[in-house]
Each structure stands twice: as structure tokens, then as C-alpha cells.
Amino acid sequence: MESKQNRALKEFDSLYKMIDDVYHEIALSMHLTDSAFLILYCLLELGDGCSQKDICKLYSISKQTVNSSVKSLEDKGVLIRKAGVGRDIHLFFTEFGREFSEKHIGPVFDMENATFESMEPSECEQLLSLTRKYVQILKKNMKQYVLEEKEF
């Protein structure tokens, strides 16, 4: 049996990749890796003291990737790590890191808000509603797929 994506799935995957490419270009413009950009974005969004675990969960990034990017950002004087409860590590901006993030990453929030504000409220709700439904069905189907035994 040969499985292929149908036209709608191909277009959906292409659109998802286009969105990812926008953020990749933004990160490159700041001379950041994608993961370093996401860490600074998340820290600016959640505030000083968010944990590496929070970032991993929020953006589905591996602990190793986050840890490696955090170490690089710490070496560059952008943030510092502080031990939390148990094995939790919390992140805090340095003065330089806060200024950089507010100047360069803050406008990304403005761009994202402006994008949604350019759409009709009903279009925004429809986009969110259909995306939620897609994710819900995908997770349900994934659970059924994972329950089947696979051979390698």
C-alpha cells in the first residue's frame, strides 16, 4: 500500500512550513538560531524566572536543544541560569539581554498582533476553532496509531 498526502494536507503542511520560515528569517535577522530566538521570545513573554521546562513544554523543544541554546545565550551575556526546586533551572535576562529582547523581539509581538488585527474577528475565531479541531482529531488519531504495534 502506498500512502501519500492528499492535496489539502500538502497545502496545510506547506502553509505550516511558510509560517516556520517567517520565524526562521526573523531569527536569522537577529543572528540567532531558531531555538535561541524561541527562548528569548518565551522569556520576554513569560517573564524573568520561567523555567527551561516551561520552554520545552510551550514550544515542544527537546531539553537538550534548550539547554544547549541557553548555555550559548549565557556565554554571550544575554541571560543567566539559577537553580530552582529540584532539578528546575530558571532563566533571567541580564541587562543586555533585556534591552536586546525588548528592542528586537518585542516588535515581533507587535507584528503578530497586527497580523491578527488585520483579520476580521470572525476570521480569527474560525482560524483558531478549526486549528483546535485539527489538533484534537490529530491527537485522537495519533493515540490510535501509537497503540498499534509497529515493526522496524
Question: What pLDDT score does 152 carry?
Answer: 61
Among 38, 46, 47, smallest CA distance to 20 is for 38
What's the pLDDT score for residue 146? 73
Calculate the alpha carbon distances from 53 to 14, 42, 96, 118, 140 in Å: 29, 12, 23, 34, 25
pLDDT of residue 18: 96
Sequential pLDDT tens for the chain (152 residues): 467 778 988 999 999 999 999 999 999 999 999 999 999 999 999 999 999 999 999 888 899 999 999 999 999 999 999 988 888 889 999 999 999 999 999 999 999 999 999 999 999 999 999 999 999 999 998 887 776 666 76
pLDDT of residue 5: 76
The pLDDT score that the predictor gives to residue 44 is 94
d(CA 15, CA 17): 5
3-state SS track over 73-121: HHHCCCEEEEECCCCCEEEEECHHHHHHHHHHCHHHHHHHHHHHHCCCH
Residues 6+ apart with CB under 8 A from 40: 32, 73, 78, 79, 97, 100, 101, 105
